[in-house]
Amino acid sequence: MRVLLGIGAVLFATACATNPIQGGPRPPQGPGPGGTQFGFWDRDAEGAVDASFRSYVTRVYDPADEATARTTLQTDGFNCRDGNRPDGRPVPTLECERIYSVEDDVHAWTVQFWPNEREPRAHYSRTHVRDTTKNYNDKRN
């Protein structure tokens, strides 16, 4: 029995180490199934994707549209949390986030509804994470 558990643990660790995708399935290029505009995040500059995502969110949602936004964003793979949590700091009344990681790049889309603000906040970011176990040759001829 211990041998089987050991083999299972090794196979699980190997599967996790070889799977470069984290944070759910690959987001679409352009609109998701619920209509959220992800932008062309795998080819366009980070600033362009961020600007178009922010523009889309502020154009589509008003501060009173939290329930609609939550339903749509969750359809498009976002994880949403409401303001009912003991974070010990001010939190938005609704916060939705979609993270997708492949190889060394992490893509994140966030939408926040804060009380007493005229429009929701939205942001896209792309982060390149360097693996400390790899040898990067920065000196190229």
pLDDT (tens digit, 9 = 90+) per residue, 92-110?
999 999 999 887 889 999 9
Q: What is the pLDDT of residues 64-78, one digit of tens each?
A: 999 999 999 999 999
Is 112 buried (19+), middle (13-18) or exposed (0-12) by CB count in 10 A?
middle
| Mean pLDDT, rounded, for 24-39 | 90
DSSP 37: B
Q: Distance (Å, rounded) from C-alpha 2 to C-alpha 27?
A: 40
Question: Does residue 27 register a pLDDT over 50?
Answer: yes
Torsional sign, CA 132, 24, 37, 40: positive
Give me the half-sphere count of Cα atoms (radius 13 Å) on the Cβ side of residue 131. Answer: 11
The residue type at 87:
D
What are the distances in angstroms from CA 92 to CA 2, 19, 59, 68, 106? Answer: 47, 33, 19, 16, 23
What's the whole-number average pLDDT of the chain? 82
pTM for the whole structure: 0.75
Higher pLDDT, 119 or 7: 119
Structure tokens at 140: 């190229």
The residue among 126, 78, 77 whose CA lies nearest residue 106 is 126
Q: Distance (Å, rounded) from C-alpha 49 to C-alpha 119?
A: 19
Structure tokens at 119: 């429009």
